[in-house]
A and B are shown apart, each in its own frame.
Chain A
Amino acid sequence: GQNIDQPTEMTATEGAIVQINCTYQTSGFNGLFWYQQHAGEAPTFLSYNVLDGLEEKGRFSSFLSRSKGYSYLLLKELQMKDSASYLCAVQDSNYQLIWGAGTKLIIKP
């Protein structure tokens, strides 16, 4: 079967760095997405990786290793507004998105 694993919840301190991991087992691979979802709001796109390596976008970076079925989202200089759920999703061979259950990130002052 197809499976996406990510931690249920993480806690970090304002100003610090946090890494949210995602491992996947899917039927084929056509890219990995990270989305951010604040409570009661729509998920919003953060990043897309299809090749191995690190993609940096401001305070957020996303890494992919296809051979290991592994990705992480790195958030630097954490701000209180970064408190949200972070969703990992993989596109399988049919370009269908397979979603993880999301990681709830709690930022403490």
Chain B
Amino acid sequence: ETGVTQTPRHLVMGMTNKKSLKCEQHLGHNAMYWYKQSAKKPLELMFVYNFKEQTENNSVPSRFSPECPNSSHLFLHLHTLQPEDSALYLCASSQASGSSNEQFFGPGTRLTVL
């Protein structure tokens, strides 16, 4: 596998379910990001991890819980979501945060909350 991979690609869940999104990067990067992309809206940065330490949490509701066990893996744990949380969730990685490095994106998880 190369680049940034995300699983699952599509997810439908009820408001009472608990699910997790997984991201893996094979680029040797030290920073990983979660973004939310809604139709016709700018990408919203949710979380940033740099060398496994969380460095950004952009006022994200606690029903989204990130986990970064190592520099290559990033998870987003979901529980008691709302229908307005339906969106494309993108994972990205870069050499490090806090520098002018391009970010490499995964294909995203299309999430639908019923």
Contact = CB atoms under 8 A, between A and B. Distances in A.
A96 B102 CA distance: 12
B103 A97 contact: yes
Given A87-B43, A96-B56, A97-B45, A42 B107 contact: yes
Interface residues of A, number: 26
The CB with the most chain A CB atoms within 10 A, among B43, B103, B104, B107, is that of: B43
A26 interface: no
Interface in A74-107: 87, 89, 91, 94-102
Nearest to A101: B42
Interface residues of B, number: 19
Contacts of B66: none
Interface stretch (B11-19, B74-82, B92-100): B92-100
Contacts of B90: 42-43
Contact of A48 (B43, B97, B100, B106): B100
Interface in B83-114: 90, 97-100, 102-108
A93 B63 CA distance: 29
11 contacts: A30-B100, A33-B102, A40-B107, A42-B105, A45-B102, A45-B103, A87-B43, A94-B98, A96-B56, A97-B43, A102-B40
